[in-house]
Structure 1
Amino acid sequence: MRQVLICWGGWDGHQPEQCAAVVSDMLKAEGFTVRVEAGTEAFADPAIRDYSLIVPMLTMTKIEKPEIENLELAIRGGVGLGGFHGQAGDSFRDCVQYQYMIGGQWVAHPGNIYDYTVNIVKPEDPLVTGIGDFPYRSEQYYMHVDPNNEVLATTTFTGGHDAWIDGHVMPVVWKRRHGQGRVFYSSLGHQAAEFEVPQMREIVRRGLVWAAR
């Protein structure tokens, strides 16, 4: 049976423990065995190199050198990496090795929480097919992103909060490779309640299942 590691912690505002429970139930329903751990220590466990998927739910935290080195070896060797919002896109601000794997880093959300649109740009891709553009209310993430990402959905900033980014198109959902590992990321999902948005939940579900070995 395929095994998943979910590690949660960091800033409480992202409700990492609650989100870990939501994702754990989601993946159990897909037939995975799920291991949930608080903190980053489990990343140093050599056994994770045999897992199918690792899901970080850690915002503004620190990762030790043995932890990131073992995690990177696991992903490079074929374990999947998947996550969302700041729990995966703002996990370790001082660790470029992690940012190189996940494919981006949060830098701002001008205006904080408000209404915007998520645009599906590759509707033929199985991770987003049949979903279509949809309205969303949350933080609209402005990110530094890797040009090697395969972008599946975007959002456009209006400039209503920062005029100089008016009209800028920002990736929201992407997938990529890191060595033999598949990597999935979505910037949606500020708190656990956002999993009640069917499009958001379905994209995360498909993305994590796709990333899993």
Structure 2
Amino acid sequence: MPENNLTPRRSALMVWGGWDGHEPRLTTERFASLLEQQGFAVEIHNDLGVYLDRDRLAEQSLIVNCFTMGQLDKTHTENLLAAVRGGAGFGGWHGGAGDAFRANTDYQFMVGGQWVAHPGNIVDYTVRIAAPDDPVVSGLADFSMRSEQYYMHFDPSNEVLATTRFDGPYVREHEPQVTGVIMPVAWKRHWGKGRVFYSSLGHVNADFEVLEARELMLRGLLWAAG
């Protein structure tokens, strides 16, 4: 059905910054374009100041954080978490969401996990679909990546959608204690009335040239937005 003036557009507020090695501007712009194609009104910010505007956050269908490391002070944190608890969706990828604000455990509690290592740095690994009946991953097959394979601390209450196994040559030689570990790659969760989606894929923008990685992330953002 075509949009009309009585049908409000969904809104997405996207924040990028932090460590530039993760190409936060390029990855944010990629998904901003994809969300716009899905009918979203997208607003992009290159600083954390927008998290001071509690009312603006609360109005969003979706908040996307792509800000590796950095710091988020108490007021920023309270506003962001309150918006999600109140019903705003939240989504993000790789270090932009899973390694943002390392000292902020309140933020990590909301996201459902935190990066701790990527043994071997850039390695070949397989992403396996763990919940094939879930609409976010339905129809997607297992796929290969050559990138950072994230080892994470994660919340057992997460609904895991995709996983990876640590069993490559570097792990077997240098980190044998984690050989065979099955690690979540993508999950969804609820935070109050809000929906949260995270994927550890997307070290650099080119990683999203892998169709399945891009589709998984986009579907997750759409799910988070409700």
Superimposed CA distance per residue, residues 167-194 of structure 1 (whole angstroms, 9 cap, x where no aligned partner): 0000001000000000000000001111
Structure 2 residue 192 is matched with structure 1 residue 179: yes
Structure 2 residue 121 is matched with structure 1 residue 112: yes
- The one-letter code sitting in structure 2 at the alignment partner of 1:133 is D
Structure 1 distance, partners of 2:79, 2:155, is: 22
**Aligned residue for 1:192?**
205
Q: What are the residue-to-residue correspondences of 1:45-124 with 2, within 5 Å?
A: 45-46=53-54, 47-124=56-133
**Aligned residue for 2:13?**
5
**TM-score, normalised by the number of residues in structure 2:** 0.93
Structure 2 distance, partners of 1:123, 1:37, is: 35
**Aligned residue for 1:154?**
163
Instruction: Note the C-alpha offset of 1:10.
Output: 0.3
Structure 2 distance, partners of 1:195, 1:32, is: 20
**Percent of residue pairs identical:** 54
Runs of 4+ in 1 over 4 A off after TM superposition: none
- Secondary structure, counterpart of 1:117 in structure 2: strand
Structure 1: which 5+ runs fail to align? none
RMSD: 0.8
**Aligned residue for 2:146?**
137
**Aligned residue for 2:134?**
125
Bigger Rg, which one: 2
**Aligned residue for 1:26?**
34
**TM-score, normalised by the number of residues in structure 1:** 0.98
**Aligned residue for 1:44?**
52
Structure 2 distance, partners of 1:162, 1:127, is: 32
Structure 1 distance, partners of 2:208, 2:165, is: 22
